[in-house]
Structure 1
Amino acid sequence: MTVLDVINLVIGFVAVMIGMIMFWSLPVPGFSSRPKESLPFLSIIIPARNEEGRISPLLQSLQEQRFSQFEILVVDDDSSDNTAAVAKSYGAKVLQNTGAGKSSACWLGAEQAKGSWLLFLDADTKFTSVDGLTKLLHFYQGKGARGITALQPFHTVERLYEHISVVFNIIVVVGMNLFTIWGSRFKTAGSFGPCILCNRDDYFLSGGHKKIEGAIMDDLELGEAFLEQNLPVRCLGGKGIMSLRMYPEGVGSLVEGWCKSFAIGSKSTHPLVMLMVIFWISGSFIAAGALISSIIEWNTTAMIFSGILYILYTIQTAWFASRVGNFRWAVFPLYPILFMFFVGIYLYSFIRVNVFHSVSWKGRKIKV
C-alpha cells in the first residue's frame, strides 16, 4: 500500500470512531416507577394544510389512547381539499386559520385551547401504541412540567425511494447537539417540530408561535424563544411512541421538503458537532473510494483493510438509521448513494437559501 492509501484508511477508521461520539444515544420517554400526580386536561393542536390523505391515522391513534382527557383542535391552514371534513368526522374541533402558515395556525389553536398543557402535532404523525401519549405526558410531568419536551417521531418507510432520506433523518437528530457522548453539555439547537409538548403558561410567557411567525424553521425558533426565558427544552426520540411517514407523495415532495429546512437548520448546530458531522460524511466517501481504488489496483492488503472499513460504515449507518426509522438493512451496502444524495440536496438548499433567498413548500413560495 502507498502512504496515501494508509492515510485514507486511517482517516476512514477515525471517522467511524467520530461517528460513535457524534451519535452516542437517542433516549425515548418511558414509564417511570415514581408516583405520578393526576394529569391535567390537555389540548392537542394540529395545524393542517391539505392533509386530507394523511391526517386520519393520527386522529385514529388519538381515539385509541388510554389517556383520554384531551380536546383536539385541528387548525385548517387554507386547505383546498377535504381536510376539515375528515377532521370533523373524527370529532375534532376545526378552526379556520385567518393568517397564513404553520406558526399562525399554532398560535390560533393555542389561543382557543382550554387545556393546561398544549401538545402541538404535525398532521402526518401518529401514536404507535395505546400508551404512547401517557408515556409522553408522564415524562413531562416527571421533569417538573416546565418548558418543552419534543419528540422526533420514528420514520416509517414504505417505498424504496423514501430510503434516500435516511442520512437527513440521522443528521436532523444529531444536529440538535444533545445526542453526542457529552449528552446535554452543548446548548440545544432548538426543538424538534413534529411533536411539541409544553404548558400553557410557559408557552405564552415565551411569546409562542406569535413571536416566531414567518420563521422557516419554526421548531428551532420556538425552542430558542423558550430558552430566552430560561425554560428547559428537552428533545428525545419517538421510537415505540410516535411515528410519521415523510413525503409519501414522491421524490419531488421529498426534495422540496428537505430543501426548505436543511441549510437554514444547520446554522443552529454547534460548531464542534457540525465538524464531527462533516468528518463523518467525508469518511463515508473516503471509505468507498479506498475500496474502489484497492480493487482497481488489485492490492490484496488494501482490499482487506478497505473492505473492513466499508463494512464498518455500512453497519454503523444502518445502526444509526435503526434509531430514527424502519429503514431496510438491505439498502446500506450501497450507502455512498445515500450520502451523495444528502450532499446534493444540502448544496441545492444552500443555493436556494443564500442565492435565490426563497424556497417552496405546499404551493407557497417562502422568502428567506
Structure 2
Amino acid sequence: MAQVILLFLLLIAFLSGFFFLWKLPVINPSKDKEEEASISVIVPARDEETSLPKLLASLHEQSLVIEEIIVVDDESEDRTVKIAEEYGATVLSTKESGSTRTGKSAACWLGAQHAKGDYLIFMDSDTQCAQKHAFRNIVAQFKRNGDTGLLSIQPYHVIRSLYETLSIVPNIIVLAGLNRYTFLDKSIPKRGAFGPFLFVKAEEYFDLGGHEATLYTHMDGIAMADLYQKENCPVTVYGGKESIHFRMYPEGIYQLIQGWTKSFTYGAKVTHPVVMLSIMLWVMSTYLVLIGFVDGVMRVDLTYLSVIFITYVLHSLQFRWLMKKVGRFPWWTMAFSLIYISAFLLLYLWAVIQVYFLKKVKWRGREYKT
C-alpha cells in the first residue's frame, strides 16, 4: 500500500512540473525590417568592470540605432566609469547628483531624468543582446502590445563555470513564481516583472512615477510591475532566448549566493498559492524518487525498482525540458536534480534567515534592511 501511495504522489509531483512553467513566451522576430524608435538605454552600474564591456559592445552592434546609452555609476570602486567612457556612453554619478539615495532604483531614476528618448530601456550590467536585431524585435513586440505598458524580459542564462549550474533551479523557480505561465493562464492573477530588462514608453513612465516610486525596495522589477498594474497598464513578461542573455554572478560562488538569497523571499510574496503548491510538489518529487529507490533496495523488489528507475528517467527529462526554457546549461545536469534542488533549498533557507531573522541582506558591499 505504501508503494502505491508513493507512486501516486510521484505522478502528481511529475504533472506539477508541467503546470507551473508550461508555456514561456519569447520575443518573436519582427517582419518589419524598417522598425525605428527613439531609444535611451539606461544601465545602473556598481563595480561592473567585468560585465559592462560585453553589454556595451552588444548595444553598439544593434541594427536599430540607439539614441543614447547612459551608464549611471553607483559609487563604483573599480574601472566601471572608465570602461563606460571608452565605449562612448554618457556617464552619470549618483554620488555627484546631490541625491541622498543610492542603489539600483535611484540610479535608474537618475538616468531616466536625463534621458532624451521616447522609449526607455533599463538593463542590468550583466545582460547583453543575444543578436543584432534584438532591439528591433523588442520594439516591434511592444508596439504589437499596444505601444503601452511595461515589457520585461528575463534574460536567458548562459554559463561558463561549473558552479554557475547552481542557478538552474533558482532560474526555474523565479520564472514560475510570477504566475504567468501555467495552464490556468486567465484564472490566476499575474504579478511582478524582471528588473534585469525593462522597456517602457518615457511619457507613460514619468506619468506613473517611474523608479522614484520604487526607491523603497531593491526588487525594482516587482515594484515596477505593481506600479503599472495599479493603473491598469499592461505588464508583459518574456523569456530572453534569442533576445537578451546574461551570465549571472560571474565573480564566483559567493556572489551567486548573495545574489540569489536577496531575491528569493521577495519573489515568493507574489506567487499564487496554487503555483506555490505545484512548485513544492515538483521539488518534493526528487526526494520521493530517492525514497522509492531506498525502499526498493531494502525490499529487494526488482519490479518496483524498475518502476522507480523509469520515474527517475522521466523526472530527469522533465528537468532538462524546464532548464532549457531558462538557460543554456550542460545536458548532463539533468541527471543530478537531487543536488541542484537541494542546493536551491539551502539557498532559500539562508534567504529566510536573512530576511526574517537577521532583517538584512547584503549586495555589492551594501546592507539592505528588510
TM-score using structure 1 length: 0.96
SS of the equivalent of 1:45 reads: strand
The amino acid across from 2:72 in the alignment is V
Conserved? CA contact 1:52–1:81, under 8 Å: yes
**Residue 22 (structure 1) aligned to one of 12, 20, 23:** 20
The amino acid across from 2:56 in the alignment is L
Please give the alpha-carbon distance, in whole angstroms, between the structure 1 residues aligned to 2:215 and 2:259: 19
Question: Where do 4+ consecutive residues of structure 1 move more than 4 Å?
Answer: 35-38
**Residue 70 (structure 2) aligned to one of 70, 73, 85:** 73
Give the C-alpha shift of residue 250 in structure 1: 1.2
Task: Say which is worse superposed, 298-307 or 230-239, in terms of deviation.
Answer: 298-307
Give the C-alpha shift of residue 116 in structure 1: 0.7
Task: Say which is worse superposed, 88-97 or 3-12, in terms of deviation.
Answer: 3-12
Cα deviation code 1:97-134 (max 9, x no counterpart): 14310000000011000001100000000011111111
Give the corresponding residue for 1:90: 87
In structure 2, list runs of 5 or more residues that go unmatched. none
Please give the alpha-carbon distance, in whole angstroms, between the structure 2 residues aligned to 1:125 and 1:227: 25
Structure 1 residues 205, 6: CA separation in 2 closer, same or farther (over 3 Å shift)?
same
**Residue 175 (structure 2) aligned to one of 173, 176, 182:** 173
Please give the alpha-carbon distance, in whole angstroms, between the structure 2 residues aligned to 1:202 and 1:248: 35
The amino acid across from 1:145 in the alignment is D
TM-score using structure 2 length: 0.96
Please give the alpha-carbon distance, in whole angstroms, between the structure 1 residues aligned to 2:25 and 2:186: 12
Give the C-alpha shift of residue 241 in structure 1: 1.0
Please give the alpha-carbon distance, in whole angstroms, between the structure 1 residues aligned to 2:7 and 2:159: 33
In structure 1, list runs of 5 or more residues that go unmatched. none
Give the corresponding residue for 2:54: 57
Conserved? CA contact 1:178–1:185, under 8 Å: no
The amino acid across from 1:201 in the alignment is E
Please give the alpha-carbon distance, in whole angstroms, between the structure 2 residues aligned to 1:331 and 1:289: 21
Give the corresponding residue for 1:251: 253
The amino acid across from 1:66 in the alignment is S
Give the corresponding residue for 2:289: 287
Cα deviation code 1:159-215 (max 9, x no counterpart): 111111100000111111101122354222211111100101221122111111030
**Residue 265 (structure 1) aligned to one of 251, 267, 292:** 267
Name the count of aligned residue pairs.
365
Give the C-alpha shift of residue 40 in structure 1: 2.5
Task: Say which is worse superposed, 211-220 or 355-364, in terms of deviation.
Answer: 211-220
Give the C-alpha shift of residue 288 in structure 1: 2.3
Please give the alpha-carbon distance, in whole angstroms, between the structure 1 residues aligned to 2:334 and 2:291: 16
The amino acid across from 1:18 in the alignment is S
State percent identity of aligned pairs: 36
Please give the alpha-carbon distance, in whole angstroms, between the structure 1 residues aligned to 2:139 and 2:153: 12
SS of the equivalent of 1:295 reads: helix
Give the C-alpha shift of residue 297 in structure 1: 2.9
Give the C-alpha shift of residue 249 in structure 1: 1.2
